[in-house]
Structure 1
Amino acid sequence: MAVPRTMKANFTKASLIVPETRIVAGLLLDRISPADWKQAIEVDNVLQKKTRLTAVTYATLARSRLQVVPTTLWQLARNGSHAEATDVALAATVKFSPLFGQFLRDVLRDEFRRFSTALAPTAWDDYIDQQLRAHPEIEPYNASTRIKLRQNGMRMLQEAGFVLDTKHLALRRRPIEPAVRQLLEAAGERQILECLLICP
C-alpha cells in the first residue's frame, strides 16, 4: 500500500538548506536545461559540497520543494533577505513535507497558545506515534528514519527561528516575513499559511 502523502518521511537527508535553496531558485528562474543543471550541480559544484552525491541530493531536494510553491516565491528566495529566503524555504518545506507542516500547525501552535516556554523533549516522538496510530495501514518508520526525522525536524525549527536551540528547545515567537505572507495570501496558499502563522 502506498504511503499517504502526509506521512512521507521525505526530510531525512537535509533540513531547510536555505543557502542551497537560494542558489537552486536562481537556476530555476534561469530556466536552464537538464544538461546545464547537471553541469552546475555536479561539475561546477555551485552548492560547494564536498561530494557530488551530497550536491545532487541537496539540489534535488531544494528543487522538489520549490516546485510545489508559487514561482513568485522563487524571486524572493534568490534576491530577498536571509529572513525572507528562510521563510520561502520553510513554506516550501511544509507543503512538500506535510508531516513536518502538521507538527507546526497542530503541536507547535498549541504550545504557543498555552504560552509554553519550551517544547517538551518528547513532543516530536509523541507526535509521530500519534500519526502512526492514525495510519495503522502503513509500516512504522524504522529506528534510523525516526532519528533522522527528529534531528532534521528540530534543526528546521531552529533554523526557522521557532526554537533557540535543539538541545533545550526554548520557544521563540516570531512573525512570518511580510513579503512572504503577502505572496502566499495572493496565491491562496491557505494550508501553508496555517502551518506558518502559529504565533498568537
Structure 2
Amino acid sequence: MAYKADIAGGSLKVYESRIVADLLLKRLPPAEWRQAIEVDNVLQKTSIGTAKRQASLIKTRLKQMTPPLWELVRDGSKPVATQAVFASAIAHSSLLRDFLILHVRDRFLSGDLGLTRSHWRSFVAACHERDPEMSVWSASTTDKLGDSVLRILTEVGMLSDGGKPTLQPVHYEPEVMNYLKDENFDEVLRAMQVFL
C-alpha cells in the first residue's frame, strides 16, 4: 500500500498545472525542461528550489494520466482543469484516494458532513494499522498533509469554504468524467464520487 507524504505543500495548483501540462504536451527533452523551469522560470516562483519542487510534483501527478487529460488541464475551463488535476492528484496519492474512499465516503453516508483536521488525524492513525510499513510522521507533518488535502477538497468544491467546512457533492464536467471512464480509471472515479 505504501502511504507516502507526497501531497505536502501541494494544493491543486491549477495555474501551474496548465503550464506543466503544456510542457509535457511539447515533449521537451530534459535540458529544455530545465531551461523552462529553472532559467525561464515559467512557473513564476521566487526561488529555483520552489519552482523545481512544484514542477516535479505536478509533473508526477499529471504523468499518472495520458495526453488527452493534459489537454483538458491546459485548455479546459477553470472547472474542467481543476477537476482534471484533482483526478491526477487522486491517481498519484494513495493517501488522498483512501481518505476519500474510506473516510469522506462514510461522512457522506452518515449525513454528518463536517470535516476538520481531527478527522484527518484519525484517518492517518488508522492508516498505520492498515500499512505497518508506513513511516511515522510528526504531528506537524500530519497536520501539513491534512491542510493540503482539505485545501484540495475545497478547491474542487467538495468542501465548503468558510468557518465551518462542510462536505457537499460536486458537479463534475462531462469531459473529465468521459476521459476517466474511457481510460478505465475506476478507482479515481470511485474516489471522486464518494457522495453518490
Normalising to structure 2: TM-score of the pair? 0.94
The alpha-carbon distance between structure 1 residues 52 and 166, as it changes in their structure 2 partners (threshold 3 A), is farther
- Contact 2:156/2:170 (8 A) holds in 1: no
Q: 1:116 aligns with which of 90, 112, 116?
A: 112
Displacement of 1:134 in angstroms is: 1.8
SS at match of 1:122: helix
In structure 1, what is the equivalent of residue 18 of structure 2?
A: 22
In structure 1, what is the equivalent of residue 168 of structure 2?
A: 172
The alpha-carbon distance between structure 1 residues 113 and 138, as it changes in their structure 2 partners (threshold 3 A), is closer
Provide the aligned length of Structure 1 versus Structure 2. Answer: 196
> Partner amino acid for 2:17?
T
Displacement of 1:166 in angstroms is: 6.7
CA distance in structure 1 between the aligned counterparts of 2:15 and 2:122, rounded to whole angstroms: 31
Is 1:13 the counterpart of 2:2? The answer is: no
Could you tell me the percent identity over the aligned residues?
Answer: 36
**Root mean square deviation of aligned Cα:** 1.5
In structure 2, what is the equivalent of residue 68 of structure 1?
A: 64
What aligned pairs does 1:157-168 form with structure 2 within 5 A after superposition? 157-165=153-161, 167-168=163-164
Is 1:107 the counterpart of 2:103? The answer is: yes
CA distance in structure 2 between the aligned counterparts of 1:74 and 1:25, rounded to whole angstroms: 5
In structure 1, what is the equivalent of residue 132 of structure 2?
A: 136
Normalising to structure 1: TM-score of the pair? 0.92
> Partner amino acid for 1:198?
V
Displacement of 1:167 in angstroms is: 4.8
SS at match of 2:168: coil
Displacement of 1:168 in angstroms is: 2.0
